[in-house]
Amino acid sequence: MRDFKDVLESRHDAQAFRKSAQHVGREKKIMRMGYCLREGYWDLLRDFAATAVCTSIQEDVGQNRSFVSFHMMGGKDGLDRVSGLFGMLKDPGTTAFDLSESTIEILKIFCTRRSYSPNKDPGTFDDQLWQKIRENIQMMAADAATNCNKAARMLRSAQLPFMRRLKDKAHAMGRVLSKPTRADAFLAEVFQVLIEHDESIPNLLKWAPDLQRLFSKVCQQCESSPLNAARIRAMGYAKQRYNSKAKPSARIVLWFDACVAFCIEVLLVRTGKAVSGVKRFLAFITEERYLTLAMLADAFDEAMILIRLFDNGDSDAAEILSTIQTYVDNLDVLFVQKKKHSTVGTQNLLWNCSKHRVFFWWVKNARSLVATM
């Protein structure tokens, strides 16, 4: 029992099998013990699922993996709650059919006792447990993407007849707010060149470790930013995620001097795509575009407050109307009344705009940015 306890603690620490609990035995023995612990835990979940009165599942896909977690209500009085993970499947595919099939496969693996054993035993499928889980699944929460919606409808019509589809409000709100810069041609141009372009600084830093090290160094040397740059490596840009579009906008504003120093360093030591990108940045940036990016960063922050409200399951529904009204009012202050919005931090973002700057990036090329505040 002591050895099993040591193996379990090592798995809680997410240690690799070849490094975990080495005093217990070799890797093969530790893997078998880990399998026994997993099956023991799953047997407890299966026993609870066999008597549960209601089950809700949550499905998500990320990093080419499909995850299905659950909440079950059961016990003697039907008020005991158990939460956990039904399973994970690699390479599930991206179509609605693929997602629905991967969800069913994960549920069937859970219903198969002694599956994926070290001796390659296919296990024993518990059809009675499978029918019980099918009948008990009454709710499903998933992404608001089109393929997820279609996959949920396919599951309800084929395998899970009593399931109701619950849209993920946070994902849905994120999609509603996903392209605010398209509302104006000038905003779209600023965001496209400085953030979304293939040769923008956020995209250059995304897959280049040497450029990330250089950017981290100039950020730590930058004294004009009010924030600590000890953990800054890149812009944190990911085209598919709304919050990862917001992050690079704020970082360019807060570490603008570091971005300029980074561009000049790249011009001195690199060639090719990186040079083309930093030249575009230096030639494009002006006082007006710099201020516009700062206002966009604050608008993104306002949108994140709204998304987090929907993401919080304990939030009061009465707050939604007032929060949306606040969001609209703050955007009106920023882009219509053209004022500094101090409620959530635009003054902090625009603090960097209060200084004169002159920088040279080639023998005959120079740029000056005058103070705008």
Based on the fold, state whether residues 9 and 124 are members of the same structural domain: no
* Whether residue 317 sits in one domain with residue 352: yes
Closest CA to 311 of 181, 167, 180, 179: 167
Query: Are 345 and 205 members of one domain?
Result: yes
| Residues 346 and 364 placed together within one structural domain of the fold | yes
Q: Both tokens of residue 271? A: 């060639």
Q: What is the DSSP letter of 58?
A: E
Q: What is the CATH number of the domain that holds 148?
A: 3.30.420.40
Pair (272, 335) in one structural domain: yes
User: Do 130 and 239 sit in the same domain of this protein?
Assistant: no
Do 119 and 263 reside in the same domain of the chain? no
Claim to verify: residue 45 and residue 138 sit in the same structural domain: no
> Among 167, 183, 202, which residue terminates a domain?
167
- My answer on whether 217 and 350 are in the same domain is yes
H or E stretch covering 359: strand 357-360
282 and 208 in a single domain? The answer is yes
- Whether 263 and 328 map to the same domain: the answer is yes
Q: Compute φ and ψ for 87, nearest 5 degrees.
A: 165, 180
For residue 106, what are the contacts with CB-CB under 8 A and spacing of at least 6? 66, 68, 86, 87, 88, 89
Is there a single domain that holds both residue 142 and residue 243?
no
**pLDDT tens, residue order, the chain (373 aa):** 667 666 666 665 555 555 566 666 666 776 777 777 778 888 888 888 888 888 888 887 777 888 888 888 887 777 788 888 888 888 888 788 888 888 899 999 888 888 777 777 778 888 999 999 888 888 887 765 667 778 888 888 778 887 776 666 666 666 667 677 877 889 999 999 999 888 899 998 888 888 989 998 888 887 766 677 777 878 888 776 766 778 888 888 888 888 888 998 898 888 788 888 998 998 898 888 888 888 888 888 888 888 777 766 566 767 778 888 888 888 888 888 766 555 444 555 555 555 555 555 554 566 666 554 4
Instruction: Report the distance separating Cα 14 and Cα 370, nearest Å.
Output: 52
pTM given for the model: 0.60
The Cα–Cα gap between 11 and 4 comes to 11
Would you tell me how many other CB atoms lie within 10 Å of the CB of residue 345?
Answer: 15
Domain hosting 102: range is 53-167
* Residue 214 to residue 229: CA distance in whole angstroms: 13
Final residue before a domain boundary, out of 167, 198, 215: 167
> How many domains would you assign to the chain?
3
CA distances from 303 to 189, 300, 348 (A): 20, 5, 18
